[in-house]
């Protein structure tokens, strides 16, 4: 089936559930991380839980239950926390950018300062299985280790460590960022330009684009993977979404 028609606004779409492993603070959940160019939204569809966030404005924990939507802009460190059977649908701005590297784990500073070591710690085995689960748990625990230090400083009124994490994250992605422009141009920017062309046509009472209407459908195209936030069911739509399990995300919410 041809699924080349993009999802609305060229967003990324996935379903996530929290990993069951307790972290150092006793909470079960995902790997804290940050996006540098993309806004992300959680739409809670089942169970209960929370998302913890760190911004220069402070620490917050937002309760999640069905019907609750929470979204956060670039620079927000976020960590999904399970309560009871939490399930979330994720909408990601600029589909393709997180997969290409717009996501950085809150690893301890010495790992963030070494790009090769960061890449090694962030990677997961290509195949699912016990080795992938073990690597995902180790990655989560390393991210929580750095996150807890950032959170403690922020709760004490010191945003300095968070700002230094932002600087370290920007240094890590800088070599990749120029290549992201093409994904943005062919994705979100092209979606906005298409709307502009449609509006131009409608001003002229020209309905020609309506004659090219299509309907597309798909189920999850990858299930059971280990994502940053938890286990993922992903939707890969050519030209619109990419599997969220690459170097920087879930192997690359």
**What pLDDT does 238 receive?**
58
**What pLDDT does 106 receive?**
98
Q: How far apart are CA 228 and CA 27, in angstroms?
A: 15
H/E stretch holding 40 reads strand 40-55
Higher pLDDT, 189 or 7: 189
Residue pair 150/158 in contact (Cβ under 8 Å)? The answer is no
Domain range annotation of the chain = 10-177+215-234
Burial of 89-128, coded b for 16+ CB within 10 Å and e otherwise, reads bbbbbbbbbbbbbbbbbbbeeebbeeeeebeebbebeeeb
Q: What percent of the chain has pLDDT over 70?
A: 87
Give the single-character DSSP code of 38.
-
**Confidence grade of residue 216 (pLDDT, cut at 50, 70, 90):** confident
Work out the angle at residue 119's Cα, subtended by the Cα atoms of residues 115 and 123, and round it to the nearest 5 degrees: 170
Sign of CA dihedral 144, 250, 12, 230: negative
**Confidence grade of residue 233 (pLDDT, cut at 50, 70, 90):** low
Q: How far apart are CA 206 and CA 188, in angstroms?
A: 24
Q: How far apart are CA 172 and CA 57, in angstroms?
A: 24
Helices marked H in 113-159: 115-122, 130-155
Give the single-character DSSP code of 66.
T
Give the single-character DSSP code of 242.
-
Query: Measured between alpha carbons, how far is residue 40 from residues 34, 62, 187 in Å?
Result: 10, 15, 16
Task: Render pLDDT for 80-132 as a digit per residue (tens, 0 to 9).
Answer: 999 999 999 999 999 889 888 999 999 999 999 999 999 999 998 877 778 88
Give the single-character DSSP code of 99.
H
Query: Measured between alpha carbons, how far is residue 115 from residues 104, 118, 121, 251 in Å?
Result: 11, 5, 10, 16
**What pLDDT does 4 receive?**
59
CATH (residue range 10-177+215-234): 2.60.120.10
Look up the pTM and report it. 0.87
Give the single-character DSSP code of 209.
G
Task: Render pLDDT for 171-210 as a digit per residue (tens, 0 to 9).
Answer: 999 999 999 999 999 999 999 999 999 999 999 999 999 9
Take residue 22 and report the two structure tokens written for it: 């307790």
Take residue 89 and report the two structure tokens written for it: 């649908």
Q: How far apart are CA 105 and CA 228, in angstroms?
A: 8
Q: How far apart are CA 221 and CA 208, in angstroms?
A: 33
**What pLDDT does 87 receive?**
95
Residue pair 35/94 in contact (Cβ under 8 Å)? The answer is no
């Amino acid at each position: 089936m041809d699924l080349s028609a993009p999802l609305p606004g060229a967003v990324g779409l996935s379903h996530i559930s929290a990993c069951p492993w307790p972290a150092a603070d006793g909470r079960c959940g995902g790997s804290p991380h940050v996006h540098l160019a993309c806004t992300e939204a959680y739409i809670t569809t089942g169970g209960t839980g929370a998302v913890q966030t760190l911004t220069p404005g402070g620490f917050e924990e937002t309760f999640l239950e069905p019907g609750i939507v929470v979204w956060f802009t670039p620079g927000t460190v976020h960590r999904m926390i399970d309560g009871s059977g939490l399930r979330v649908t994720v909408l990601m701005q600029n589909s393709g950018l997180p997969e290409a590297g717009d996501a950085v784990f809150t690893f301890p500073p010495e790992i963030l300062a070494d790009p090769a070591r960061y890449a090694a710690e962030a990677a997961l085995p290509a195949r699912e299985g016990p080795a992938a689960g073990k690597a995902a748990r180790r990655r989560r625990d390393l991210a929580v280790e750095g996150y807890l230090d950032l959170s403690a400083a922020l709760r004490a009124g010191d945003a300095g460590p968070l700002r230094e994490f932002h600087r370290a994250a920007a240094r890590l992605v800088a070599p990749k960022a120029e290549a992201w422009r093409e994904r943005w141009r062919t994705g979100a920017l092209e979606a906005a330009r298409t709307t502009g062309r449609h509006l131009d046509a409608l001003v002229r009472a020209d309905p020609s684009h309506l004659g090219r209407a299509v309907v597309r459908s798909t189920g999850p195209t990858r299930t059971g993977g280990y994502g940053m936030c938890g286990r993922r069911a992903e939707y890969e739509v050519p030209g619109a979404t990419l599997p969220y399990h690459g170097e920087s995300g879930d192997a690359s919410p």
